[in-house]
Amino acid sequence: MVNSPQIAELRGVFMVAAELSRLGFIVSLTSRSSQGADLLVTDQLCKRAFSVQVKTNARTFNFWLLNEKAKELISHSHIYILVNIRREGKVIEYFVVPSEVISKTMVIEKKETSTWYSIGYDDVKPYLNNWKIFGNPE
């Protein structure tokens, strides 16, 4: 089975959309070319709306790569959901993290020819299944 990073990322987006729908939220996928948001989420009465950025791991599980815009994309309505797909999909971990936390705790590592942006597992561990950040879907 092919498990490229692009397929894993898209798989994570659909898994998060399914989970939010299961919880009762209205979820819409954005264009894959949109910056900063993979999903748009609202409650049933359309009184609260969120943009969601999904980052997915299917091979390494102790960090997630980010982009440099994560430092500036800060809003109470912008949420990161970091997904670990473990044991070929038998174990799924969802870390539901406010963008403020991502911005403050992300690691910026400058190399000779590149710069890497990431966040570690230990930094997001307290946000495991933190779906309450979205409030009540009704």
Q: What is the pLDDT of residues 67-113, one digit of tens each?
A: 999 999 999 999 999 999 987 768 899 999 999 999 999 999 999 99
Q: Which residue has the higher pLDDT, 35 or 138?
A: 138
Residue 1 has pLDDT above 70, yes or no: no
Which residue is associated with the tokens 């748009």? Answer: 40
* 120 close to 106: Cβ distance less than 8 angstroms: no
Q: What is the pLDDT of residue 124?
A: 98
Encoding tokens for residue 63?
A: 């960090």
Residue 39 has pLDDT above 90, yes or no: yes
Encoding tokens for residue 42?
A: 């609202």
Percentage of the residues of the chain whose pLDDT score is greater than 90: 80
**In 3-state terms, the chain is what percent helix, strand and coil (to 5)?**
30, 35, 35
* 39 close to 17: Cβ distance less than 8 angstroms: yes
Residue 4 has pLDDT above 60, yes or no: yes
* 52 close to 2: Cβ distance less than 8 angstroms: no
Q: What is the pLDDT of residue 52?
A: 97
